[in-house]
Copies of this chain bind each other. A is one copy, B any other.
Amino acid sequence: MTAMRATAPDLEHELAAIVGAGHVRVDAGARTVYGRDATPQYQGVPDAVVLPESAEQVAAVLRLAGERGVPVVPRGSGTNLSAATVPQAGGIVLALTRMDRLMELDRENLVAVCQPGVTTARLVAAAAEHNLLYPPDPGSRTTATIGGNVSTCAGGLRGLKYGVTRDYVLGAEVVLASGEIIRCGGRVMKDVAGYDLVRLLCGSEGTLGVITELTLRLVPAPEDAGTGLAYFDTLAAAGRAVSRVLAGGVLPATLEFLDRTTVRTVEDFAHVGLDTDAGAVLIFGQDGTPETVARDMERIAEACRAEGANDVTVASSHDEAEAILEARRAALPSLSRLAPMTILEDATVPRARLAEMVERIEAIAARHDLVIGTFGHAGDGNLHPTCVVDPGDGDAIERVHHAFAEIFEAALEMGGTITGEHGIGLAKLPFLEARLGAAQVALLRRIKAAFDPAGILNPGKLGS
């Protein structure tokens, strides 16, 4: 920051003139709540929390912040897991949750137009009413906003077949740090007029601009879906089954795994009927026409058996399918009950090295005397090693940091990455240069400066 920070009462007054006094909060409660997101161990304290209702208000807030040199941290519901929306430098938290209009579901063009504060679940439900699907389905979808999904390039369980949030953003209205409002992309399936700012914004974590409107691509809803579960003695066998499924020409809608620790913990807490002797569980699903679903489910089941699955179940009813999916959904909540603090990571490796990576994680956990359960998206090579500790145990916390540093190092050694879908935020920033190299990190800083020369947007994060 080059300019001095405005004193809080001045700033509050000027912000209130923009968004209305009822939409600026400086009370200790708001400053505490909006000082954190879903990432343990990170807490900032903003000077003010501002809830705008239009792009024009966002622009006015950014102009004011620019004049005063005050940081602005845009956010939605704050469900991210990398401390990407923690205002560690203070300033303004710009919460976009009031901008929650779902303006249009355009069936002819298979497009939705909405403000950033719409929750993912609401968008999905609205699309479903028109027999359309918005495929990305991050675990936080009932709470998370679509603006936050885009800013983090959220993934989820359908990544292998359907891709991630980036693949469904066609256009965006964006307020730049200068207060200028630009529109990128639009209601067109193809557009190569200019650099691809739409995708550059995806995953930029509020450091390049503030998204105030989105145009999203939808697809026809599949008619049918199937769900199945297979037990394996080892994760290596489950990994080979994944390769066999893909080599056989099937691209499943879902292909999730739970490791031994996760299977046992889920069963202990959620009692979904899992076999706790299993070395690994693969949960698989396909969608499409009833014929495709039936055929692909059988092929996936066959591939699992061919790789030595002990038991393979294909759900024959909605309830059975829900019971299987519940096992996957219960992974994080169950693990998190083992200790007061849960640290969820998302190292990613080339798909074929998934099992090898889980073995490395197990060895690292043992060496540091930690409980780490790993589950995630087998089809994407996207692992969620989850460590549970007592936050009061300083020594354990220290060991967790060492363990995760080793996990990231292992992922990079295998040609993987430090984050598949959770983002960099504050939490992964120390590892970014190991992933990208110094020249690329320097380039990111120059790109950030091209958007935000004064560095007011989410400073101290990506691009800083």
Contact = CB atoms under 8 A, between A and B. Distances in A.
A308 interface: no
Given A439-B182, A446-B450, A196 B249 contact: no
A26 interface: no
Interface in A251-267: 251
Interface stretch (A332-340, A360-368, A419-427): A419-427
Nearest to A438: B180
B440 A197 contact: yes
A415 interface: yes
A416 B188 contact: yes
Q: Give the one of A108, A193, A203, A422 with max B CB within 10 A.
A: A193
User: What are the 6 tightest A-B residue pairs by CB atom distance, in nearest-first order?
Assistant: A190-B420, A446-B450, A108-B352, A199-B199, A220-B249, A180-B439
Nearest to A200: B200
Contacts of A200: 195-196, 199-200
Interface stretch (A36-44, A285-293, A310-318): A285-293
Q: Give the one of A167, A219, A351, A421 with max B CB within 10 A.
A: A351
Contacts of A349: 188
B437 A183 contact: yes
Instruction: Give chain A's interface residue range (CB within 8 Å of chain B).
Output: 35 or more
Given A109-B352, A351-B108, A439-B176, A380 B189 contact: yes
A291 to B, nearest CB: 4
A247 B108 contact: yes
A440 B106 CA distance: 26
23 contacts: A106-B352, A107-B247, A108-B352, A110-B246, A110-B351, A155-B190, A180-B439, A186-B350, A187-B415, A188-B415, A188-B416, A189-B380, A189-B381, A191-B420, A192-B424, A194-B440, A194-B444, A195-B204, A223-B249, A288-B292, A291-B292, A292-B292, A443-B450
Interface stretch (A88-96, A121-129, A157-165, A321-329): A157-165
A313 to B, nearest CB: 23
Contacts of A248: 220
A196 B203 contact: yes
Contacts of A178: 439
Contacts of A190: 155, 159, 164, 348, 377, 380-382, 417, 420-421
A32 interface: no
A410 interface: no
B451 A443 contact: yes
Nearest to A289: B292
A356 to B, nearest CB: 12
A228 interface: no
Nearest to A191: B417
A68 interface: no
Given A182-B437, A291-B292, A292-B288, A423 B192 contact: yes
